A and B are shown apart, each in its own frame.
Chain A
Amino acid sequence: MSKNKRQPHIGGARQQAGAPKSVSATAARKGASNLPAKAKRRLHLPLLPIPLITFVLLWAWIALWHGDEFRMIRENSFFAFDSTLMDFELGKQNGLLWTIGRGLLTTFRTPWIGGLLLSFLLTASCWMLGYVLRLKGWLRSLQYLPLAIFTGIFTYQGINNWFEAESGHVMGFPLIIFAVLALASLVVRFAFHKPAPAIICLPKDETPRHNRLQLYAVLLVLAAPMYFGQKERPYVRPLAQMQVGVMEQDWQRVIDVAHDNDELSNRPMTAYYAMALVQSGQIGDRLFDIRIDYDSIYAFGLNQTFNNTNMYLMESDFHAGLVETSYHHAMESMAIEGPTLRNLKVMCKAAILRSEWEMADKYLTILDKVPFEGDFVRRYRPMLRDRKKVDADPEFALIRKLEPMHDTFENYLVLPVFLGYNAALTEGRSQAALLNALMVSIYTKSIPGIMARLEPLVGTTPPSSVMEVIALLSGRENGLKNAFPSTEMYMSRLANFIDETRQYVTTPEERAKHARELFPRYKGYYPFYYFFGNLKSTRKVPKDANSSAGVN
């Protein structure tokens, strides 16, 4: 076929001879006037610049739909222009490539900027694949294979994209694909002198049908993973949103996301929600507004055990006042994964709170070498050697109130990991610390624990969840009614609740079976949680005895 031989002008676009014979032959044979009405409508559809549309849609897919996930990947990554700092990565196989990938990832400080870059890499890779393989007609839809692979794997991996994962892969693989295809394209262009198809202007070598087919292919590779994500990994986006909220200390956002997804239940989301409630002074009223039953999530970490407590342990301990324990977990995270923005920031903040100024200075100096981390450094550097500034910081001020009163060893901390390890706390620097300990007892349904911690509240008006607990326990603990006289309203509601749910509490299996359907009706109500929530977590065991692994 001669590339200069022009076909009749169809549908407002000029079609080259490269178009499939079937369409041009049909048009030629029957003539435009003889086409059925349906076919006419199709043929009059304008041609669209699919690569450009792909670029824009993908940009939105990355920045709007998955923006917080990419931010968390960045937060669980580390990159600096310093070989000492990057030695942990450069020494790995293909370390330089993953280091560059990490460098590119830093642009996700603003997902729109990072998204622009990633969208460009992927869109250009698709276009170049089509060019290198000289895909024509309907086959051109196959050029979006790299995009399909990326969106598919990214969505399938979900939390594993940033939980103890090699963060350099996220930008490193698209980069290597881009580089290989760019090289191949240059060879094709200069060795074989093949013309390149349109990328940002209207395509001249496509039929409307094939043009649309490409559009549908692009929509499919973007929408199908979204559907899969919503169906199979519905917790991924909310979890990332909550983690970003914790990182930015936007507690209201964390709470809002939890409420918007109140039927999703997993340990990380509950942990972040509890952190936000403590920080905003709502732990006594709103803890049970979300379903707490801990569905399993697809997050396996380095040891492939699906034990995802490491995902939130350092933040959970930090915001529960266990600053040293938080530092311990952050340091272990660094030992296992290498430095990340997340563990460095926690260690920096812990060092500031513990007045370890040289340490904090070290971490700030390192963070200052990470592109786009200036805000963090500017916020915390003035606090060095200035206790007044530290105490004036709202986050630190609350954590100070929650710090332990006495030293002990982690061995003596008691599980579960909820609001740190405060299940055994009996003394606190503040009412907030005691309330946290009470809420852990309430959460663990430990009646002796609850009774031991109610005493400081006598004569006050406790938060609503605590009042519901008091009402619940009044039947078996006679003194409670006298100590907290305003329980009448709560007693009355409790009676109704027991009447309504009597039929479901016959056996643990029955309770588990009906817990989910009853949740919308009783969410936020402690007696419901007591009978139908968190059915597996009442077990209390001491934390593992002191480990004998590597002494450093």
Chain B
Amino acid sequence: MKHPLLLILLALLLGSCGKTAVLPTQFTEVKEQANIYPDYRDVVIPANIAPLNFQVRDAEADEYVVQIAPGTSENDAILVAADADGIVQIDTLAWRNLLEQQRGKSLNVRVFAHRPAGWIAYKAHTLTVAEDIDPYLSYRLIEPGFEIYRQLGLYQRNLTNWDVHTIYENNRVYEEENNHCINCHNYQNYSTKEMLFHVRANHGGTIVVNNGKAQKIQIKADSILAAGVYPSWHPNHRWVAFSTNKTSQTFHIYHDEKIEVIDEASDLLFYDADKNEVRNILRTRDDFETFPCWTPKGDVLYYCSAHLPQVGILPDSLKGPGVIARYDSVHYNLMRMSFDEKTQQFGQPEMVINAQAQKKSISVPRISPDGRYILYTLGDYGQFHIWHKSSDLWVKDLQTDSCYALTAANSSDVDSYHSWSSNGRWIVFSSRRMDGNYTRPHIAYFDKQGHAHKAFCLPQEDPRHNILLLKSYNVPELTRDAVRISAEQLRDCIYDTEPTTATYKN
């Protein structure tokens, strides 16, 4: 809430709040669980997460009481009252104490609704309190459509409370000479000490931030396909593996999926931020490599690749139409190359998962911090699964060599663009499950046995935020610390400095 005047106005209009909660003494128990939005029923939650505020949806009820109790005990329970709108907002301090007290245990949430015939008690649901999650979540907010962008920004949410910090926002008002896009924010080792993101169109370049100091880089050379796109920081050095993609998108006219984002060509780049040098890792005509990802040791680079010789031979102007014509038969496999830190040389590409053989396609591989699991998105075709309803989260266990879907965390809608927490116990990903269009970050517990649990939506102070916000959350990334550079410093770098062009090194 940035405007105190509006806040006061809203407060006056909304009238008094702070209803006192009294547990009903007489009620009828019903077998169903309460219909709550977002669905926070029977989920595993981090011990340091902000209160899971929700809205109860019961057309007959005119008031509610919610009891959040440790286990089956009613001692130390939190009681929350809600009006007919069903908005349950939990006291942050009491919630924090309760979660701290219940680490490794469960909370019992009971919803009571007052209907004309009297109080009813819905069947209780549980919240299991697990390990902490990294406290900061970075994301981009942008309208989910489509080819045109205007106002957008990178933000960082403190997951332990409601604070949102603006990392960087572009211009709020349309200005032909200043309009620009920002994307692909990325951090090294879950820390904000090293971070980067791209600026496209006006003031374009890649912003590389080293310990709070920003620099604008132009990763561009005749010998490379295009600018750097999807990044992955090497864990031990200021090196970044980028994909370089010629990306475009096209729009269905009668389909459940609205957009198809395609690559007309793509390769992999290696960028040394200390020397400001760039070189190709893979420069191929018939293979489209993308989404690089280092292992936590930095000795292997995973990536996705599609083999499209029938497109590769086409002239550039026909490559886009060539891919569009066969968009639903483009399949990306999971590949890897070994890497020698000393010589900075890569080994030969190896197939890790042959998705094409299953008529499937893999994108966004992310290695767990312990190096054991590869988390990826599997869809029917293509690489931009955030627009594919078939996309689900899968893992490959590198110890057992088995691949399996994270069924409990997945939904019938899009689940994609995921990242790990630094302790490997949490995954956060974008999902369109709430309405099919606007992505919202979802968090799922990933246990020591390698199974993900039911995911829950990023909690908001007012749960209706997820309905009212007309933007999508893109690229959720967890970090242990807050971003160390201000939006104003980034703005100065973006607006006032010319990019330094990276030197191409063979």
Tell me the A residues contacting B by CB distance below 8 Å. 81-88, 90-93, 95-96, 99, 302-304, 322, 324-325, 327-328, 331-332, 334-336, 338-339, 356, 358-359, 361-362, 365-366, 369, 403-411, 413, 545-552
Chain B residue, CB-CB nearest to A325:
B253
Q: Mark B146-190, 1 if CB is under 8 A from A, else 0.
A: 111111000000000000000001001110100001010000000
Q: Does B134 count as interface, using CB distance less than 8 angstroms?
A: no
Among A92, A332, A335, A405, the one with the most B-chain Cβ atoms within 10 Å of its Cβ is A335
Q: Mark B241-252, 1 if CB is under 8 A from A, else 0.
A: 000001111111
Q: How far is the CB of B370 from chain A (nearest CB, A)?
A: 32
Q: How far is the CB of B86 from chain A (nearest CB, A)?
A: 13
On whether the beta carbons of A552 and B472 are closer than 8 Å, the reply is yes
On whether the beta carbons of B253 and A322 are closer than 8 Å, the reply is yes
Closest 3 CB pairs of A and B: A331-B145, A358-B435, A550-B149
**CB-CB < 8 A to A336: which residues of B?**
148, 150, 174
Chain A residue, CB-CB nearest to B245:
A551
**CB-CB < 8 A to B469: which residues of A?**
84
Q: How far is the CA of A359 from the CA of B148 in the complex (A)?
A: 20
On whether the beta carbons of A328 and B146 are closer than 8 Å, the reply is yes
Q: Which of B424-454 contact A (CB under 8 A)?
A: 434-438
On whether the beta carbons of B261 and A335 are closer than 8 Å, the reply is no
Q: Give 12 pairs: A residue, B residue, CB < 8 Å, sorted on A.
A: A83-B2, A88-B470, A95-B172, A96-B5, A356-B437, A366-B470, A369-B468, A409-B260, A549-B147, A549-B148, A549-B149, A552-B142
On whether the beta carbons of A546 and B248 are closer than 8 Å, the reply is yes
Chain A residue, CB-CB nearest to B466:
A362
Given known A-B contacts A88-B151, A362-B435, A549-B147, A83 and B174 have beta carbons under 8 A apart: no
Q: Does B31 count as interface, using CB distance less than 8 angstroms?
A: no
**CB-CB < 8 A to B149: which residues of A?**
335, 549-550, 552
Specify which of A83, A327, A552 is in contact with B10 (CB 8 Å cutoff). Answer: A83
Among A302, A327, A410, A551, the one with the most B-chain Cβ atoms within 10 Å of its Cβ is A551
Q: How far is the CA of A410 from the CA of B260 in the complex (A)?
A: 11
Q: How far is the CB of B409 from chain A (nearest CB, A)?
A: 20
Q: How far is the CB of A302 from chain B (nearest CB, A)?
A: 5
Q: How far is the CA of A92 from the CA of B174 in the complex (A)?
A: 10
Q: Does B7 count as interface, using CB distance less than 8 angstroms?
A: yes
On whether the beta carbons of A409 and B250 are closer than 8 Å, the reply is yes
Chain A residue, CB-CB nearest to B255:
A407
Q: Which of B303-354 contact A (CB under 8 A)?
A: 320-321, 324
On whether the beta carbons of B468 and A547 are closer than 8 Å, the reply is no
Q: How far is the CB of B495 from chain A (nearest CB, A)?
A: 16
Q: How far is the CA of A339 from the CA of B469 in the complex (A)?
A: 11
Given known A-B contacts A409-B250, A549-B149, A550-B147, A81 and B13 have beta carbons under 8 A apart: yes
Chain A residue, CB-CB nearest to B175:
A302
Specify which of B252, B261, B464 is in contact with A551 (CB 8 Å cutoff). Answer: B261
Q: How far is the CA of A83 from the CA of B6 in the complex (A)?
A: 8
On whether the beta carbons of A302 and B174 are closer than 8 Å, the reply is yes
**CB-CB < 8 A to B247: which residues of A?**
548, 551
On whether the beta carbons of A546 and B250 are closer than 8 Å, the reply is yes
Q: Which of B1-36 contact A (CB under 8 A)?
A: 1-3, 5-7, 9-10, 13
On whether the beta carbons of B173 and A93 are closer than 8 Å, the reply is yes
Among B253, B384, B464, B472, the one with the most A-chain Cβ atoms within 10 Å of its Cβ is B253
Q: Does B42 count as interface, using CB distance less than 8 angstroms?
A: no
**CB-CB < 8 A to A409: which residues of B?**
250-253, 260, 324
Q: Does B408 count as interface, using CB distance less than 8 angstroms?
A: no
Chain B residue, CB-CB nearest to A88:
B151
Specify which of B7, B172, B254, B255 is in contact with A83 (CB 8 Å cutoff). Answer: B7
**CB-CB < 8 A to B181: which residues of A?**
549-550
On whether the beta carbons of A359 and B145 are closer than 8 Å, the reply is no
On whether the beta carbons of B324 and A328 are closer than 8 Å, the reply is no
Q: Does B237 count as interface, using CB distance less than 8 angstroms?
A: no
Q: How far is the CB of B294 from chain A (nearest CB, A)?
A: 23
On whether the beta carbons of B146 and A339 are closer than 8 Å, the reply is no
Q: Does B474 count as interface, using CB distance less than 8 angstroms?
A: yes
Q: How far is the CA of A410 from the CA of B252 in the complex (A)?
A: 6
Q: How far is the CA of A545 from the CA of B255 in the complex (A)?
A: 19
Q: How far is the CA of A519 from the CA of B91 in the complex (A)?
A: 73
Given known A-B contacts A324-B254, A409-B253, A362 and B2 have beta carbons under 8 A apart: no
On whether the beta carbons of B253 and A552 are closer than 8 Å, the reply is no
On whether the beta carbons of B434 and A358 are closer than 8 Å, the reply is yes
On whether the beta carbons of B324 and A550 are closer than 8 Å, the reply is no
Given known A-B contacts A325-B253, A362-B467, A304 and B147 have beta carbons under 8 A apart: no
Q: How far is the CA of A95 from the CA of B151 in the complex (A)?
A: 14
**CB-CB < 8 A to A86: which residues of B?**
6
How many inter-chain residue pairs (CB < 8 Å) link A and B? Answer: 165
Chain B residue, CB-CB nearest to A544:
B147
On whether the beta carbons of A84 and B143 are closer than 8 Å, the reply is no
Q: How far is the CA of A74 from the CA of B182 in the complex (A)?
A: 32
Q: How far is the CA of A403 from the CA of B253 in the complex (A)?
A: 9
Chain A residue, CB-CB nearest to B433:
A358
Among B148, B247, B434, the one with the most A-chain Cβ atoms within 10 Å of its Cβ is B148
Q: How far is the CA of A325 from the CA of B201 in the complex (A)?
A: 25
On whether the beta carbons of A304 and B176 are closer than 8 Å, the reply is yes
Q: Does B258 count as interface, using CB distance less than 8 angstroms?
A: yes
Q: How far is the CA of A304 from the CA of B174 in the complex (A)?
A: 11
On whether the beta carbons of A547 and B249 are closer than 8 Å, the reply is yes
Among A361, A407, A409, the one with the most B-chain Cβ atoms within 10 Å of its Cβ is A409
On whether the beta carbons of A92 and B173 are closer than 8 Å, the reply is yes
**CB-CB < 8 A to A95: which residues of B?**
3, 172
Q: Does B144 count as interface, using CB distance less than 8 angstroms?
A: yes
Specify which of A338, A366, A413, A551 is in contact with B384 (CB 8 Å cutoff). Answer: A551
**CB-CB < 8 A to B248: which residues of A?**
545-548
Q: Does B200 count as interface, using CB distance less than 8 angstroms?
A: yes
Q: How far is the CA of A320 from the CA of B176 in the complex (A)?
A: 32
**CB-CB < 8 A to B172: which residues of A?**
88, 91-93, 95
Q: Does B275 count as interface, using CB distance less than 8 angstroms?
A: no
**CB-CB < 8 A to B384: which residues of A?**
551
On whether the beta carbons of A552 and B145 are closer than 8 Å, the reply is yes
**CB-CB < 8 A to B254: which residues of A?**
324, 403-408
On whether the beta carbons of B176 and A410 are closer than 8 Å, the reply is no
For the A-B complex with A545-B248, A546-B324, A550-B200 known, give 13 more contacts whose Cβ atoms are closer than 8 Å: A82-B10, A83-B6, A90-B2, A95-B3, A304-B176, A331-B144, A336-B148, A358-B436, A359-B435, A408-B252, A408-B253, A410-B253, A546-B320
Q: How far is the CA of A365 from the CA of B470 in the complex (A)?
A: 12
Q: How far is the CA of A546 from the CA of B264 in the complex (A)?
A: 11
**CB-CB < 8 A to B143: which residues of A?**
331, 334-335, 552
Q: How far is the CA of A168 from the CA of B251 in the complex (A)?
A: 33
On whether the beta carbons of B145 and A410 are closer than 8 Å, the reply is no
Q: How far is the CA of A408 from the CA of B5 in the complex (A)?
A: 49
On whether the beta carbons of A411 and B146 are closer than 8 Å, the reply is no
Q: How far is the CA of A410 from the CA of B249 in the complex (A)?
A: 10
**CB-CB < 8 A to A335: which residues of B?**
142-143, 145-146, 148-150
Q: How far is the CA of A411 from the CA of B434 in the complex (A)?
A: 30
Q: How far is the CB of A309 from chain B (nearest CB, A)?
A: 14
Q: How far is the CB of B416 from chain A (nearest CB, A)?
A: 13
Specify which of A90, A365, A408 is in contact with B468 (CB 8 Å cutoff). Answer: A365
Chain B residue, CB-CB nearest to A360:
B435
**CB-CB < 8 A to B261: which residues of A?**
551
Q: How far is the CB of A2 from chain B (nearest CB, A)?
A: 47
Given known A-B contacts A304-B176, A365-B468, A324 and B255 have beta carbons under 8 A apart: yes
